[in-house]
Structure 1
Amino acid sequence: MNEHAPVPGGLRLADLRAGPNALAQHYSRFDVANRLPLTGHSHQAWPDVAIDGQLAAFTDAAAELDGKWDRAADKAEEVRDGYRALLGDPDGELALGASTHELLVRFLSGLDLCGRRRLVTTDGEFHTVRRQLDRLAEAGVEVVRVPAEPADTLAERLAAEVDGRAAAVLVSAVLFETARIVPGLDGLAESCARWDAELLVDAYHALGVVGMPIHEQGLGAAWIVGGGYKYLQLGEGNCFLRLPRHADRFRPVVTGWFSEFSARSQRPGAGEVAYGSGAARFAGATYDPTSHYRAASVFEFFRAQGLTPAFLREVSLHQNSVLADAFDELALPPELVTRDRTRPRSDYAGFLALRCAEASAVRASLARYGVYTDHRGDYLRFGPAPYLSDRQLRDAMAALGEVLRVGRGTGGVTLPKSRGNG
């Protein structure tokens, strides 16, 4: 990494490492310069310009009444353009939705689950996929869950489960518990194509911290789902489903009336249900456009600051290395907390996952120290963000050392006696 190499917009890695971080001034409402928010993989702060977008949505509604929808459509297209740039897919068809679940359900409803009753996935998917597939399994769909670990062979093991019975494979580009990047998805895509099965890739934990040029990665024929609530700072209500070229043969059962906007030549109710073309095929219905106004403002802010996918990856790798090094310097007992050191940080995405004896209790104690993290099972997760300085990252990790040492002595975190805290 070259700390002194400028990027478009003038920012350098050195500007973000220093205190105060050069970006922090643009997040005054979240007060990131005076807090230690390490939930960047779950909820990042919004730049101050986000409120400008929200106010613009109100202003347009007040001025235009029902005519606001034309302006809202323009904002939605700006959001699509933001995602297209991240995916390296300038002509991509993207359906928008309030959540990835909403879009996942429309995708699933377009599959031939009567003729092909098998769905292949992993045991490391986010709850959106996990819960919905659990319920489909109760309804008689065969759901094959491949162990997510080891990640190095995951794509290959998924491909081995694909055959003429499989309607689709659903897998994450980055595992949400550990931040481990899943390699070899291009080979999985080839296997799916051979069997005429669909491939849906969840890119939520990749966008903003890992490059996702889908055509370069052999994923041009895949469905890509994701959103901007996490690393992209877009807030709620900003998710997308990227459609492959063959999507026009799909007739999703769960379909919103917005799909009729581009199919008005066919009278509703006269014969077969008509669908719009491209992304309109997976359109929903009336929604709150405020989220798109906010997202459009944030995407423009990212462009103005030079927060390109390549620079964001550089920042993410640096910040996670700072956290990992600071953790190692604590030399805490591995039976209490440890991290995976078998792979380089470049094999991970946007956060540092620590296996922790009492992750939930440690998270709560850290919050009392003013350090905001989260946990999934026995993983304690530290998620940095571009507006944090190196000093803030080291201070957050130092608090972990204090919490665990206090817990072993004077009663901070209650640790199990069988793990050596006496």
Structure 2
Amino acid sequence: MYQQFYQRFLTANKGKQHFACHSHHYWPDVSRDAMLEYWDDSARLVDDKWHYIFSEKVPQTQQLIADILQLPQPEQIVFAPNTHELVMRLLSCFDLRQPLRILTTDSEFHSFSRQVKRLSEYDNVVVDIVAVEPFASFEQRFAQAAAAQDYQLIFCSQVFFNSGFAIADLPAFVASLDSVSDAMIAIDGYHGFMALPTDLSTITERIFYLAGSYKYAGGGEGCCFMSVPLGSIHRPLYTGWFAEFGTLAAEKSAKVLYSEDGYRFAGATMDFSALYRLNAVLRLFKQQGISVGRIHQYVQQLQQVFLHKLSELQHRQLGLANLLAHDLKQHGHFLTFRLGSPSEVAELAAQLKRAGIETDYRGDRLRFGFALYHNSAEYDLSCLQG
């Protein structure tokens, strides 16, 4: 019943079963209208579009996101083209001439893992890594590790990209890190936003929460965001002119000034067509009464049907024994199967692609994602028989 909102992408990909939603989610049709709206606004307003965007479009989109995540101060949300840019602003808050100790996991998104690995080549930077598996003890082990050292930055995912395993109670998880009161805590929510019902109201003053529109929000690439704790006095070294909004009219100062809200973490000129798309999709969902809870319930039903069909096939590689995380109550919107080797995964993914089934894989793990534009009655896995 939700496919009506995705007709353009579905028509363009007729004959395909798209199980890579967690990688590149289809865009609802309203996103095309949003692209044209951005073009028309640019033509109509030219330089004046910046005032319009920052006085109308940005606050509206901040409010839409704040409503979804239960954030009490929408103005604490800042936008950027990608989360890596936001991560770099967080890292640039620290004086890299001084000792820096970071706690994270072995399952963070590649740009972050690559970046801190590069930083750890400096003698004064130490990166401690906690294994996410076994899942049952992860939260306890992570909290114990956080209490064992003096950390300046703690970075962890809400849903881990390489397994689908999700932190079930994010506020409780953050509360378990209370012993590191001075540490900056950042939560990568990219695989949680618009997938798992998330209430940040009780931890909004404690964490930086990063997410974006490329995955489950269906707005495409180019619009990521971060919620910044109210009263933050951080002064990112990596900073651009957007971060001076609210101070541009002030007298010139010898000191670099920053916005008093989340935009102290802003960068510089960016293409806001992505924000227009995200805005349009979130407004559509709000108008249609499509809440994240409703989306999550629908996707869980899709996952159950998919697993049932697989069990009937008794496929050697895609059996429950190879499913990484089994508890759908503590799970994101994709299922991950671990096979014997990367080459085995690549071969199976290629076989599926030839049959019109689009998947996504990393190393020895094959991922199947699920979305609103799926209809479980149309699932055809017959290519896996025999």
Partner of 1:51: 32
Partner of 1:420: none
**Structure having the higher Rg:** 1
Contact 2:171 2:200 in 1 (8 A): no
1:83 to 1:398, Cα distance in 2 relative to 1, 3 A: farther
Shift of 1:197: 0.8
Partner of 2:110: 127
Shift of 1:108: 1.1
**For residues 256 and 158 of structure 1, what CA distance do their matches in structure 2 show?**
34
Structure 1, residues 120-162: CA drift from partner, whole Å, max 9, x if none? 0000111121111111111231000111112232222222222
Partner of 2:279: 296
Shift of 1:333: 2.4
Partner of 1:14: none
> Is 2:180 aligned against 1:201?
no
From 193, 200, 210, give the equivalent of 1:214.
Answer: 200
Partner of 2:357: 371
- Could you list the runs of 5+ residues in structure 2 that have no partner in the other structure? none
Shift of 1:266: 4.2
**For residues 275 and 167 of structure 1, what CA distance do their matches in structure 2 show?**
22
**For residues 196 and 338 of structure 2, what CA distance do their matches in structure 1 show?**
23
SS in 2 for 1:135: helix
1:235-314 matches, within 5 Å, as 235-247=220-232, 249-268=233-252, 270-314=253-297
1:46-195 matches, within 5 Å, as 46-73=27-54, 74-92=56-74, 93-140=76-123, 141-163=125-147, 165-183=150-168, 185-190=170-175, 192-195=177-180
> Is 2:370 aligned against 1:384?
yes
Q: Which amino acid aligns with 2:92?
A: S
Q: Which amino acid aligns with 1:139?
A: Y
Q: Which moved more, 1:311-320 or 1:298-307?
A: 298-307
> Is 2:4 aligned against 1:25?
yes
Contact 1:350 1:383 in 2 (8 A): yes
Percent of aligned pairs sharing the same letter? 31
Q: Which amino acid aligns with 1:271?
A: A
1:212 to 1:377, Cα distance in 2 relative to 1, 3 A: same
Q: Which amino acid aligns with 2:39?
A: F
SS in 2 for 1:180: coil
TM-score, structure 2 as length reference: 0.91
**For residues 168 and 5 of structure 2, what CA distance do their matches in structure 1 show?**
35
Contact 2:187 2:207 in 1 (8 A): yes
1:1-20 matches, within 5 Å, as none
Shift of 1:46: 0.8
Contact 1:152 1:183 in 2 (8 A): no
Q: Which amino acid aligns with 1:319?
A: L
**For residues 172 and 205 of structure 1, what CA distance do their matches in structure 2 show?**
8
- Could you list the runs of 5+ residues in structure 1 that have no partner in the other structure? 1-21, 406-422
Contact 2:185 2:207 in 1 (8 A): yes
